[in-house]
Structure 1
Amino acid sequence: MTPPSRVALVTGASSGIGRGLAEALGAAGLAVGLLGRDGQRLQDALAAVRGTGARAAAAPADVVDLAGLQRAVEQLQAELGPVDLLVSAAGIIEASEVPVWEADPEEWRRVVEVDLVGAFHAVRAVVPGMVERGGGRVIHLDSGSGIRDSAVYSAYGAAKAGLFRLGGSLHAAGAAHGVTVLELAPGVVRTPMTMAMAAHEQRRQRDEWTSQAEVDALAVAFARGELDAFSGRMVRAGVDTPASLSARAAAGFDDDDRTLRLRPWGADDPLR
């Protein structure tokens, strides 16, 4: 078994869920490397993580820029030690709710580049070291938007579906090297991104959100090695808890449970 993680690297750590996860992992005793594009907000987040008593360091980087990301990862590992937990939390969404044929091409591409290509870049920059050292963990901040059709936010949905498949590929290839990957869907946490989305207008009026603490609890449990059985699968904050997932793992589950699959029409479907 891969031992509990000791050094985390969090992308998108300057605000929102990423910052919350960085603080929670620091409070749980991990050293934390923070990556983000906004230098001032990144320093604010760094101060908050250090306020938990954790060793922490920060480096500005855009996940879309692979060379810059690799340099930032090298800098953080030189300060904190080898990363054995990668948290890909960097993400954006389209500004407007429009059908795919009305989507702005540049914005569409940018969403996919940040949410999907950026996560691949993070894997490329961090996971080879995990493989060399014999293990590690990866958390993808995924979304239910990647597993169901929607008339709007087509770039975000496509990116999150691709992220799930990226995680599946990492699980399939990494299992032999002690690398596990969790697709963590945070539900709808109150963040600057969700507060700006028209889709959540009624939620804002009711003030009904998934709590950051529920997301944090799943991430910390995974970092400790308690949820490795869910590698390649999706868990959802606000629905799942570390205790409920541990019970489910003990009871057993099918190969397709909580994975991204094509559902056959029956036993005679040739695509089974």
Structure 2
Amino acid sequence: MADLTGLVALVTGASAGIGRHLAEGLAARGAAVAGVARGAERLRTAMAEVAAATGARTLALPADVTDRAAVDAAVAEVVRELGPIGLLVNNAGLIDAAEVPLWEADPDQWWEVVESQVRGPFLVSRAVLPGMVAVGGGRVVDLASGISTRANPHYSAYSAGKTAQMRITESIDLAGAAHGVRAFDLAPGVVDTAMTRAMPMHEGRTDWTRPEDVVDLVVAIAAGELDQWSGRFFRAGVDDLDTLRATEPADDARKLRLLPYGDGDPLA
């Protein structure tokens, strides 16, 4: 078990689901964990439970990740109360309200989903990254999805947002490399949460990704065991952690790229 004592982690969407699992998993390994979520009461309860279960320092910061002022204030409080942030997990995000084609989607809800998946990670990363650069490094984990890498006929907002988030990850990796900052895309698979159970596409599902597999990958990232994969994509429950530790990815492996139509493709 990696020892994360001394690490300050910020997890968005920490009050429930995957974010809640990550907050407790990081705290159990010694990290001080700040959680962000919109629901103040549920978040405070969750972070208090994490502290009680692990003995770690926790901080509950109710905030909407799409609200710039709220994000800036929350990040400043984390640094003031816990210290410089060494790990950011962008987990918060919404999903399409209904499985319908794009032309039947509610425009306001569609855009709200995209904002949660793009504006949210942008604002939080923008607030956190200067601190990482100042201290010589840090790590960002963006919660991705299989829908990040392939089209979906019914979740167009979620697909668009998650694909854009992958570009944010790669931008952080490219610009941050010289400053010791690394960034990763992690698809958690299908974890049994209230959100996934509400999705018609998962009705009747019995094969779920274990939350522990998601936590183990984030912990390995936080411990610096997977730095050679910065700017690339993992999938919990499928990728083997020992294999990842021992592998040096080459070229554009596990990056989102346009496939050429042949050797003569001028864009190849």
- TM tier relative to shorter chain: over 0.9
Match of 1:229 in 2: 228
**DSSP-derived class of the 2:163 partner:** helix
For 1:202 and 1:60, the matched residues in 2 are separated by: 34
- Mapping of residues 166-177 of structure 1, within 5 Å: 166-177=168-179
Query: Could you tell me how far 1:119 is from its partner in structure 2?
Result: 0.4
Q: Structure 1 residue 22: deviation in Å? A: 0.6
**Separation of aligned partners in 2, 1:124 and 1:67:** 12
Which piece of structure 1 moves more, 6-15 or 237-246?
A: 237-246
1:246 to partner: Cα distance: 1.1
Identity %, equivalent residues: 53
**Paired residue for 1:215?**
214
Letter in 2 for 1:59: L
User: Retained in 1: the 8 A contact 2:85–2:132?
Assistant: yes
Deviation at 1:219, TM superposition (A): 0.3
Separation in 2, partners of 1:34, 1:142? 19
Give the 4+ runs in structure 1 shifted more than 6 A: none
5+ long unaligned stretches in structure 1: none
| Counterpart pick for 2:164 among 162, 165, 180 | 162
* Whole-angstrom distance in 2 between the partners of 1:254 and 1:243: 18
Q: Aligned pair count?
A: 264
Unpaired runs of at least 5, structure 2? none
CA distance in 1, matches of 2:45, 2:25: 15
Deviation at 1:92, TM superposition (A): 1.0
Q: 8 Å contact 1:130–1:136 — kept in the other structure?
A: yes
> Equivalent residue for 1:267?
263
- Structure 1 residues 65-84: aligned runs within 5 Å: 65-84=67-86
CA distance in 1, matches of 2:13, 2:197: 17
Report deviation, 1:202: 3.0
Superposition pairs of residues 1-272 of structure 1, within 5 angstroms: 6-50=7-51, 51-203=53-205, 207-249=206-248, 253-272=249-268
* Residues 264 and 184 (structure 1), Cα distance of their counterparts in 2 relative to 1, 3 Å cut: same
**In the TM superposition, what is the alpha-carbon distance from 1:85 to its structure 2 partner?**
0.4
Shift of 1:165: 0.6
Deviation at 1:4, TM superposition (A): 8.7
| Distance (whole Å) between structure 2 residues aligned to residue 187 and residue 116 of structure 1 | 20
CA drift of 1:5 comes to: 7.0
TM-score, normalised to structure 1, is: 0.94
> CA–CA distance in 2 between the matches of 1:128 and 1:200?
39
